[in-house]
Structure 1
Amino acid sequence: MHRPVLKLPSWLPVDGFILALVGTVGLAALLPARGPAATVAEGASTGAVALLFFLYGARLSSREALDGLRHWRLHLTVLACTFVLFPVLGLAARFLVPEVLVPTLYTGLLFLCLVPSTVQSSIAFTAIARGNVAAAICAGSFSSLLGIVVTPLLAALVLHGNGGGFSAGSLLKIVCQLLLPFVAGQLLRRWIGGFLTRHRTVLGRVDRGSILLVVYAAFSAGVVQGIWHQVSALRLLCLLGVEAVLLAVMLAASSYVAGKLGFRRADRIAITFAGSKKSLAAGLPMASVLFGAQAGLVVLPLMLFHQMQLMVCAVLAKRMAAGTVPVARREGASAATPAGPGGAAEATAAVAAGQQPSGPRT
């Protein structure tokens, strides 16, 4: 996350939003913003990032988050996968530079290991596989919330030698463009929450339009600076291979750890899907703040990983559902039904309709 922008044939295993992103990258390559247009695009991108995180804060249900605290062991496991195991694997991939990955692509790979988990696709795949949907909602929401602070802090620790990290300016940008709008959204949720619920489909288009604007500005800056001459088709194929291994390791590791810690099957499913994914919607605006003009090439690994995780997890979730009895029969209906309003069916239907049950879009 899976909330396609376009109505695509069911047999086509490509997320519609990814197609829109590819089209935006192509537009930036052919018609990059230059001169005054670049200044306008940069200003619009800054405003789009602030709007995104305002909407994230306004959508996040504090009640659902508090209800989910009783599953603290599960959430800590997901957070450990997202913000500990992923970064460790990203750092371990350093030995692939420069033979397999060029430095800029490695920076992007390491950055994708630092961003928070998804919300919506984790919910959808957990529901399809008959897992604990309530846990997936809360785990994804906690990860997204903590990621606003944790991802920049991790970037300061591990990206200082790879073209990223903190300066006083980037810290101020993080606070102004990400944290303050998010807090404002949370504070105003009491008054605007109903409006957001009634117009979630339209606001979903605003979400994605904002992300496309961020991508256009970032890739335009990269084209103007000539960063695309650093990457060949062979390097991109190598990147895809590395990301396939990364995804396979995280799927296996999250499932194995959940089993060793004694979680029941429904919870293991939620941990597997929430702990192995990365959020494109959160990662793109963060990259634009942290990397500036270099963000175009840095976010490429995240964009590719996002599509890969959707395709792989869609197949995996269907196989889990086909090979097991429904969780509601085996372990009780509460294991597969969110604590808040709705349930697995509602969450799946919301995803199919391009809506957001809870938390930020991914």
Structure 2
Amino acid sequence: MAHVRLLFDNFTLALLAVIAIATFLPCEGQGAVIFGWATTLAIALLFFMHGAKLSREAILAGAGHWRLHLLVFACTFVMFPLLGLALKPLLTPMVGTELYLGILYLCALPATVQSAIAFTSLARGNIPAAICSAAASSLLGIFLTPVLVMLLLGVEGEAGSTLDSIGKIVLQLLVPFIAGQIARRWIGAWVTRNKSWLKFVDQGSILLVVYTAFSDAVVEGLWQLIPLSRLLALTLVCCALLALVLWLTHFLARRLGFNLEDRITILFAGSKKSLATGVPMAQVLFASSAVGMIILPLMIFHQIQLMVCAVLAQRYAQREEPEPSPEVAASKG
């Protein structure tokens, strides 16, 4: 597997550049309308490609490990939200009400797919189970995240009902994903051959959504509302939240008797939050002027989780394999 970078990678630098462009050259008026339509198409393309890339055989291979999947889903959709609520008295004075809502939104999101699988593979964990858990978490999030957002934030989406928000998300995310799965029969081999440059389609879609969201937020006075001290506090909060979640997932997996490969999978699949899903969902669930503030904690948490999990994955990868027992050695001989 390619070396996992520990420092800022090209995509992170591109994200920072897009935020800078949105700060000084935000899209407004008719330009904002055009970018809004482009964003909708980009999100559909993003999830179509996710569907086309994901192998159903790989998902089925790990589907039987139900105890592992239940723990991952519990960490993602129960433990994270409960932590967000429990830490409110501490977090709100540190980052303010608006950014705290962004932290709650982060806690309601599904896990990542690509990076959870990549880190599990690098760390020599249970890869089929990681593929199944991450993919199922992403699909469950389409239905669970709007409900959790309503419960945690009291937000019911632009049209005024949770069901309407779920319907929009299904139309914008799940339908293109299913279309990609269907099209995989004809384009799967082509997608596999061109993975190296198709990732730019994914990244370009996210960058477009981020630019549109931050443009709206800048027009509404985002940077006047968030001083540097609050950004630093938010970064520390994201670091502390990730550290707590990593410890809890590791503790629970060990306490429940999972082997090392499964514990690695639970650690990486249960502690991560998806930028690729979170940014498009925010476009549907929140008013356009609020999206920039809402996704800012997610963007910071995303980068921190990549750097920290890269270090952890490399440490696991360097472990020595246990010596086989005499009986196993004899049977192989």
Q: How does the TM-score come out when normalised to structure 1? A: 0.83
Measure how far apart 1:123 and its partner are: 2.3
Q: How does 1:162-311 map to 2 (within 5 A)?
A: 166=161, 170-293=165-288, 294-311=290-307
Matched, 1:45 2:47: no
Which of these residues, 13, 17, 25, is aligned with residue 19 of structure 2? 25
Q: How does 1:61-140 map to 2 (within 5 A)?
A: 61-96=55-90, 98-140=92-134
Query: Residues 175, 119 of structure 1: CA spacing in aligned structure 2 closer, same or farther, 3 A cutoff?
Result: closer
CA distance in structure 1 between the aligned counterparts of 2:85 and 2:183, rounded to whole angstroms: 39
Query: Residues 95, 66 of structure 1: CA spacing in aligned structure 2 closer, same or farther, 3 A cutoff?
Result: same
Measure how far apart 1:199 and its partner are: 2.1
Comparing 89-98 with 253-262, greater Cα deviation is found at: 89-98
SS at the partner of 1:33?
Answer: coil
Letter in 1 for 2:37: G
CA distance in structure 1 between the aligned counterparts of 2:275 and 2:172, rounded to whole angstroms: 17
CA offsets 1:114-145 (integer angstroms, 9 cap, x no match)? 11112222223223323222222222112112
Comparing 94-103 with 24-33, greater Cα deviation is found at: 94-103
Alignment-derived partner of residue 330 in structure 2: none
Q: How does the TM-score come out when normalised to structure 2? A: 0.90
Query: Residues 203, 327 of structure 1: CA spacing in aligned structure 2 closer, same or farther, 3 A cutoff?
Result: farther
- Does the Cα contact within 8 Å between 2:146 and 2:162 map onto a contact in 1? no
Structure with the greater alpha carbon radius of gyration: 2
Query: Residues 316, 3 of structure 1: CA spacing in aligned structure 2 closer, same or farther, 3 A cutoff?
Result: closer
Measure how far apart 1:329 and its partner are: 6.0
CA distance in structure 1 between the aligned counterparts of 2:157 and 2:323, rounded to whole angstroms: 48
Measure how far apart 1:266 and its partner are: 1.0
- Does the Cα contact within 8 Å between 2:126 and 2:262 map onto a contact in 1? yes
Measure how far apart 1:161 and its partner are: 5.5
CA distance in structure 2 between the aligned counterparts of 1:181 and 1:311, rounded to whole angstroms: 30
Whose helix proportion is higher, 1 or 2?
Answer: 2
CA distance in structure 2 between the aligned counterparts of 1:172 and 1:185, rounded to whole angstroms: 19
Measure how far apart 1:327 and its partner are: 6.7
CA offsets 1:80-120 (integer angstroms, 9 cap, x no match)? 11111011111122213542121111111111111111222
Letter in 1 for 2:307: M
Query: Residues 327, 248 of structure 1: CA spacing in aligned structure 2 closer, same or farther, 3 A cutoff?
Result: farther
CA distance in structure 1 between the aligned counterparts of 2:27 and 2:322, rounded to whole angstroms: 52
Measure how far apart 1:28 and its partner are: 0.4
**How many residue pairs get matched?**
323
SS at the partner of 2:124?
Answer: coil
- Does the Cα contact within 8 Å between 2:150 and 2:156 map onto a contact in 1? no
CA distance in structure 1 between the aligned counterparts of 2:90 and 2:231, rounded to whole angstroms: 13
Matched, 1:152 2:146: yes
CA distance in structure 1 between the aligned counterparts of 2:133 and 2:286, rounded to whole angstroms: 28
CA distance in structure 1 between the aligned counterparts of 2:189 and 2:323, rounded to whole angstroms: 31
Measure how far apart 1:150 and its partner are: 1.6
Comparing 169-178 with 260-269, greater Cα deviation is found at: 169-178
Measure how far apart 1:321 and its partner are: 3.3
Comparing 298-307 with 309-318, greater Cα deviation is found at: 309-318
CA distance in structure 1 between the aligned counterparts of 2:179 and 2:271, rounded to whole angstroms: 30
Measure how far apart 1:26 and its partner are: 0.4
CA distance in structure 2 between the aligned counterparts of 1:225 and 1:53, rounded to whole angstroms: 29
- Does the Cα contact within 8 Å between 1:18 and 1:307 map onto a contact in 2? yes
Matched, 1:312 2:308: yes
Letter in 2 for 1:114: A
CA distance in structure 2 between the aligned counterparts of 1:65 and 1:189, rounded to whole angstroms: 14
Alignment-derived partner of residue 15 in structure 1: 9
SS at the partner of 1:70?
Answer: coil
Letter in 2 for 1:193: G
CA distance in structure 2 between the aligned counterparts of 1:181 and 1:280, rounded to whole angstroms: 18
The RMSD of aligned alpha carbons is: 2.4
CA offsets 1:251-295 (integer angstroms, 9 cap, x no match)? 111011111111111111111111111111111111122124111
CA distance in structure 1 between the aligned counterparts of 2:270 and 2:178, rounded to whole angstroms: 25
State the percentage of identical aligned residues. Answer: 52
Comparing 23-32 with 183-192, greater Cα deviation is found at: 183-192
Measure how far apart 1:168 and its partner are: 6.2
CA offsets 1:316-360 (integer angstroms, 9 cap, x no match)? 2222333x3237969xxxxxxxxxxxxxxxxxxxxxxxxxxxxxx
